[in-house]
Amino acid sequence: MTRKVKNIGTVFISLMLVLLLAVGTALAQPASPQAAESSSAKEKAPAAQLETAAETAVLMDYSSGQILYNKDMHVAKPMASVTKLMTMLLICEAEAQGKFKTSDKVIASEHACSMGGSQIFLEPGEELSVKEMLISIATGSANDASVAMAEYVGGSEEEFVSMMNGKAEEMGLKNTHFSNPTGLPVENHYTSAYDMAQVLRECLRYPLFREVSAIYEYDLRGGDFKLWNTNKLLKWYAGADAGKTGWTNEASYCLAASAKRDGLRLVSVVLGCPMPRTHFQETIKIFNYGFAKYKAVTMAEAGQVVKEIKVDKGVADQVKIITKDPVGMVVPKGQEKTIQGNIKLPESIDAPINKGQVIGQYVLNKDGQEVLKVDLIAAQDINKASPLKLLNDMLERVYSME
């Protein structure tokens, strides 16, 4: 009898322990499997972002340089013929400085004609104009024309490459080094998506670059040789108007491109896209993201006159003040009114004044915080007035007070 009671007690205690364990487990779990999934998803779900098959990429606002999207944008990668953006930048810069005219003739050297890859099949001694050479680089990605122009601008290909690296250093490009002006495979030749976006941004400041980069087809040598632009976005994407493609086995497919819609100009660079045409597909995806999400707030274009201020002791009484760079930025759509502009200039300035001299700043604020500062510069030279003119000016002021 005693043993039976003990057995019943043991069973009872065991049942109670099982019951308590079951209740504790039930209380520890959420009310439903769906609730558990929702909670877990909320904790693990990443912030919405753009996916790209490119190894590295960047989307940049042209006016302000704002980064709107990036994927490993500072990682150094081979760039293939996207290299030619720096080649064209130095050509356009030299032309703007008056070192030569676009109509000047360039004679192709034997070395330039020996380049492989994309070319216009220059013959040693053949003459083409600077503009024809530049168009051949921009549209046909011509390696022979690139070297011919490098020799024309720099005196030798080696000196021109030194100029390319000097310009990269001047621009603060920390992950870029050039070993040739073409992008043909060679050691110690690399860039990053961010650095190349800055190069394209600088190229776009030159009307000559914009002109040649936007040409889709061109008849060279009087129509005997047809050029088709390798940047197919000029036909495939509304607003696309500039850029440079590139491909080698080492670099895969690359593209730096610009597109403008509704006052918003975006610059995109993709490096290391895996398959043919993916550099176009990924760039379109990145541009679509930018134009859908952001809105341009433009205060002034580069070179726009914003004010005239008084000049003291000068041959002229006033000087026009222009913007050195574009004044604007992008904001998420709906936030345009958060941007305010403020022009900071003195009431007057003493002569002499040099063209390009910094006189003041155009400052942009977002929600009261400074986000952009652009130099305001003199639009022209103004020499100091002669002593006789200064005396006449003083007498005129005296007479006007009587």
Contacts of residue 377, Cβ cutoff 8 Å, sequence gap at least 6:
321, 322, 323, 324, 355, 356, 357, 358, 359
Q: Is 391 among the domain residues?
A: yes
Distance between CA atoms of residues 372 and 359, nearest Å: 17
Q: Pick the last residue of a domain from 242, 260, 294.
A: 294
Strand order in the sheet with 369-378: 339-344, 358-366, 369-378, 318-323, 305-312, 348-350
The whole-chain average pLDDT of the chain stands at 87
Q: Residue 123 is part of a domain; what is its CATH number? A: 3.40.710.10
Residues 77 and 93 placed together within one structural domain of the fold:
yes
Catalytic residue among 109, 141, 213, 252: 141
Residue 313's pLDDT is 87
Q: DSSP characters for 158-223?
A: HHHHHHHHHHHHHTT-TT-B-S-SS--S-TT-BB-HHHHHHHHHHHTT-HHHHHHHT--EEEEGGG
Q: Is 350 among the domain residues?
A: yes
Q: Please state the domain count of the chain.
A: 2
Catalytic residue among 77, 84, 167, 244: 84
Q: Pick the last residue of a domain from 261, 294, 327.
A: 294
Residue 394's pLDDT is 66
Taking alpha carbons only, the member of 58, 18, 49 closest to residue 268 is 58
39-79: pLDDT as tens digits: 333 233 334 479 999 999 999 999 889 999 999 999 999 99
Catalytic residue among 81, 109, 213, 268: 81
* Reported pTM: 0.79
Q: Pick the last residue of a domain from 277, 294, 311.
A: 294
Residues 263 and 321 placed together within one structural domain of the fold:
no
Is the CB of residue 67 less than 8 Å from the CB of residue 57?
A: no
Neighbours of 363 (CB within 10 A): 16
Q: Residue 356 is part of a domain; what is its CATH number? A: 2.60.410.10
Q: What is the 8-class DSSP label of residue 46?
A: P
Of the chain, the percentage scoring pLDDT greater than 90 comes to 74
Contacts of residue 358, Cβ cutoff 8 Å, sequence gap at least 6:
324, 375, 376, 377
Residues 242 and 109 placed together within one structural domain of the fold:
yes
Q: How far is CA 110 from CA 115, 133, 137, 145, in A?
A: 9, 16, 18, 12
Taking alpha carbons only, the member of 332, 310, 311, 309 closest to residue 321 is 309
Q: Is 92 among the domain residues?
A: yes
81 part of the active site: yes
84 part of the active site: yes
Cis preceding linkage at 352, omega within 30: yes
- Structural domain span for residue 309: 301-397
Neighbours of 225 (CB within 10 A): 13
Residue 49's pLDDT is 75
60-70: pLDDT as tens digits: 999 889 999 99
Q: Say if residue 161's pLDDT is above 90.
A: yes
Residues 263 and 389 placed together within one structural domain of the fold:
no
Residue 19's pLDDT is 39
328-365: pLDDT as tens digits: 889 999 998 899 999 999 999 999 999 999 999 999 99
Distance between CA atoms of residues 126 and 108, nearest Å: 5
Q: Is 264 among the domain residues?
A: yes
141 part of the active site: yes
